[in-house]
Amino acid sequence: MKPEPYRLRKYLLEIRKSAAELEILVRENSLKPGSVALNAAKYLLIELAEAVSNTLQHLLAREKGVAVSGYLDTLAKAREHGIVSEELF
């Protein structure tokens, strides 16, 4: 089965949005311990991890017929099936 382009676009848009917002926080150098900015950055990292995981899960399921359980399993199977490079893993 082929990946659904609209889903991939949605996930990639989420990745770009969260990454851009995180980049702003880092550039502003406002990530002080206990700050709202640091808490926001943590949340953005969670959003990024979820969007990356959703993208990889979709590709694994549609292209490879592989089921996954959790973030680490998703990354490991994406590497195993050549979707993610060893370096990126």
Domain range summary for the chain, segments of one domain joined by +: 5-80
Q: pLDDT tens, 55-79?
A: 999 999 999 999 999 999 999 999 9
Angle in degrees, 0-180, between the axes of helices 71-80 and 36-59, rounded to the nearest 10: 50
- 15: confidence class by pLDDT, cuts 50, 70, 90: very high
What residues contact residue 62 under an 8 Å CB cut-off, 6+ apart? 1, 2, 3, 4
C-alpha span between 57 and 43 (Å, rounded) = 21
Q: How many residues does the chain have?
A: 89
- pTM here? 0.86
Q: Which of the 8 DSSP states describes residue 84?
A: S
